[in-house]
């Protein structure tokens, strides 16, 4: 399909106009025909490259992370693995789900998500932002904030200002997933835009933390989140390495 047409009529989902307004460019690198067979293999701590190709990720029981946003600034309530959900966090080609620690039922905290395949469902951790999400080539370590920083680059419609805001093409495509019924399945009424939940920006200047909750969930990195009045008021985004069942 040729998207090098006048994008004034609108680009397809997950595409954005280039600077010259002559083509629609994909947010995501890689096409199925480029993919190796068998899929690439990565291990805990490896950098997953920017590609749509399937890959296999081998982990331990505290290896994978997604970004979790404290939307209202009142802190987090996570479970242990037994009290968590079944969700495909590693996004391996077999599609199998892991038993994971998760947000508590009726929590107002939200996973930061991007529906990369446009099916209106958050299928796996590859559609969240964590260490198994494709990372930019310059990443020194795999984490959700480095994955998110890809979309602050000019080639992804970003303005390279060190934060994700409405000035970046990705902003309106990002979703905050509040899994209110605690079933590990994203549903339409659980997905909201940042604007709908009153958020203006997420900083990319993350800091390392050594916080661990009573269940062993590691809150390893954090960055500031600001509301539409440009206030932080205790709001943070955390890259959380979740405990999983053996």
pLDDT in tens, the chain (246 residues): 444 544 555 666 656 655 555 566 555 544 444 677 777 777 766 666 666 677 776 656 678 999 999 999 999 999 999 999 999 998 888 888 999 999 999 999 999 999 998 899 999 999 999 998 988 887 778 899 999 999 999 989 999 999 999 999 999 999 999 999 999 999 999 999 999 999 999 999 999 998 999 999 999 999 999 999 999 988 999 999 999 987
Instruction: Tell me how far CA of residue 230 lies from CA of 51, 57, 163, 227, 243, in angstroms.
Output: 34, 38, 13, 5, 33
Q: Look at residue 80 in the predicted model and tell me its pLDDT.
A: 96
Q: Look at residue 35 in the predicted model and tell me its pLDDT.
A: 75
Q: Look at residue 20 in the predicted model and tell me its pLDDT.
A: 54
């Amino acid at each position: 399909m040729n998207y090098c047409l006048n994008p004034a009529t609108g680009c397809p989902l997950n595409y954005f106009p280039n600077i010259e307004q002559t083509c629609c460019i994909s947010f995501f690198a890689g096409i199925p025909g480029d993919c190796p067979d068998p899929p690439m293999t990565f291990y805990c701590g490896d950098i997953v490259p920017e590609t749509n190709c399937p890959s296999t990720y081998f982990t331990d029981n505290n290896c994978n992370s997604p970004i979790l946003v404290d939307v209202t600034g009142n802190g987090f309530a996570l479970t242990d693995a037994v009290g968590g959900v079944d969700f495909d966090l590693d996004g391996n080609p077999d599609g199998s789900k892991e038993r994971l620690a998760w947000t508590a039922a009726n929590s107002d905290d939200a996973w930061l998500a991007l529906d990369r395949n446009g099916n209106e469902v958050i299928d796996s951790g590859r559609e969240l932002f964590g260490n198994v999400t494709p990372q930019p080539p310059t990443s020194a370590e795999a984490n959700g904030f480095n994955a998110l920083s890809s979309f602050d680059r000019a080639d992804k419609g970003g303005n390279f200002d060190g934060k994700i805001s409405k000035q970046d093409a990705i902003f309106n495509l990002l979703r905050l997933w509040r899994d209110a019924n605690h079933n590990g399945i994203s549903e339409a009424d659980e997905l909201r835009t940042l604007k709908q939940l009153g958020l203006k920006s997420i900083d990319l200047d993350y800091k390392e933390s050594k916080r661990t909750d009573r269940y062993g969930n590691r809150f390893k990195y954090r960055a500031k989140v600001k509301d539409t009045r440009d206030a932080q008021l205790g709001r943070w985004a955390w890259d959380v390495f979740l405990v999983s069942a053996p």
